[in-house]
Amino acid sequence: MIDAVVEERADRVAGREFSRAVPGLLVLSLALAVGFAQMGSFSTVQEGAKAELGLSDVTLGLIQGVSAAVPLVLFSIPIGILVDRWNRMRLMLLFAVLSVGGSLLTALAANVPSLFVARMMTGIATTGGLTAALSLAADMCAPAQRGRAMLLVTLGKSLGIACAFALVGWLFGLFAAGFSLFEGGLPWREAHLALAAIAGLASLPLLLLAEPARREVADGPRAAFRGVADQLWARRAFLIPLFLGQVSVVMADAAAGIWAAPMLTRYFALTPQQFGGWMGALLLGTGILGALLGGMVADLGQKSGRRGGLLIGAVAAAAIGVPAALFPLSGSIPVFALALGTLMLAGTITGLITSVAITVMLPNELRGLCLGAFIAFAGLVGYGIAPPLVGWVSLLLGGEQHLAAGLTIVGVATSIAALCAFSVAMRRAPFTPTVRAQPKPIR
């Protein structure tokens, strides 16, 4: 009876604490929406750049994928270490400035190298901001509330991905219809110029947030890096399959997100202004639903008392993603949209649950580093390999006319790999965030 009263009181305190954290979480959500809109903006209008600059599909895949992957591999882990040891709000402001600069450079890029650098800037800024935002969100509320906290942050990411289609598609249509910011400007360039201005204004609320205190600290933010490395190594049986699962999901989602617009243009003869609105609504809807489901399932999984229960939703979502990855073979736009939306829904769920798992199952001084490492590996494999891999598989099948088959092969294979990896991670999950030695996995 006493235990029940104590637990109920703790729940009320955590609930009040979460309510106070909501405004700050919403500001972080808006910042991520701005970042991901800029990161995904080029995909929506890339056919315009292809026509102007004479780019091939492989070159587009390299610009979209490798330009995001290379800097992520080089900078994500150092950024993660900074997140664990430095003022995270200052980092968020720095990333906002870098992302706006990347959009401006995209609008002005005259060749492939400058376009590559521009997309690289938005990739570094957005994924670095994601690492900092997840760490901040975790410290704004208690562990039992983190599914809901990550839900709000993930909604911002989903909104940004949707805006990359809806807002950028609308801007493209506006400038294609005759409205112009400067003489001789092409629609895809002017859309990025306008997006940079919007993003700069939308980032201003970050100035209102203060750095929160860090929670669940084992050795502290000033811990020697050797000690941090030892802690990571002690958790390798859990972290390696968790890494592989989320990286595989990112591969499927990155390939689908980057090649969906060209698929609609080539196979269904749609223009960006024709599909931008409903694609944006689709991705926003699945992002919101995925965040709600992922947050609720993560919190319920923690309450189940089962080892690795937090990851039950990730395993289920990865399983749903396998048939959904067949969307390129659909013969109609409604089926295409339904299957693509299901794939993105599954990806949102696994991404949120993975983030919650890191903030709940690892001590504070490992979170930024692990999030950065996740982003680095996901960037290298997911963005650096998956998009151009689709182009290469298409060429092996006979040419660019086989884009649908190439995209299907990559999507299904990576979805199956994610299902297997998350299942292993669930069986090897740690029981508490600060324990170093891991018990043998349940077989």
Res. 279 pLDDT band, cuts 50 70 90: confident
Q: Which residues contact 26 (CB under 8 A, 6 or more apart)?
A: 152
Q: Does residue 435 lie in a domain region?
A: no
Q: Does residue 122 lie in a domain region?
A: yes
Does residue 145 register a pLDDT over 50? yes
Q: Does residue 46 lie in a domain region?
A: yes
pLDDT digits (tens, 9 = 90+) for 81-137: 888 888 999 999 999 999 999 999 999 888 888 998 999 899 889 888 988 998 898
pTM of the model: 0.67
Tell me which DSSP letter residue 116 carries: H
The reported pLDDT for the residue numbered 277 is 77
Helix, coil or strand: residue 243 = helix
Helix, coil or strand: residue 423 = helix
Q: Does residue 226 lie in a domain region?
A: yes
pLDDT digits (tens, 9 = 90+) for 302-334: 777 788 888 999 999 999 999 999 999 988 899
Q: Does residue 76 lie in a domain region?
A: yes
pLDDT digits (tens, 9 = 90+) for 366-385: 777 787 777 777 767 776 78
- Looking up tokens 């290469």 gives 392
Res. 437 pLDDT band, cuts 50 70 90: very low
CA nearest neighbour of 141 among 131, 127, 155, 153: 153
**CA pair distance 431, 82, nearest whole angstrom:** 27
Q: Does residue 432 lie in a domain region?
A: no
Q: Does residue 118 lie in a domain region?
A: yes
**CA pair distance 410, 403, nearest whole angstrom:** 11
Res. 63 pLDDT band, cuts 50 70 90: confident
CA nearest neighbour of 347 among 71, 92, 177, 158: 158
**CA pair distance 302, 358, nearest whole angstrom:** 13
CATH number at residue 302: 1.20.1250.20
**Which residues form the domain of 24?**
2-427
CA nearest neighbour of 163 among 62, 37, 347: 37
**Number of compact structural domains in the chain:** 1
The reported pLDDT for the residue numbered 434 is 52
pLDDT digits (tens, 9 = 90+) for 155-165: 888 788 888 88
The token pair at 406 is: 């190439």
Q: Does residue 8 lie in a domain region?
A: yes
Contact (CB, 8 A) for 358 and 371? yes
- High-pLDDT (> 70) share of the chain, %: 88
The reported pLDDT for the residue numbered 199 is 93
> How many C-beta atoms surround the C-beta of residue 317 within 10 A?
28
| pLDDT (mean) for 340-359 | 89
Res. 222 pLDDT band, cuts 50 70 90: low
H/E segment holding residue 431 = none
H/E segment holding residue 442 = none
The reported pLDDT for the residue numbered 5 is 41
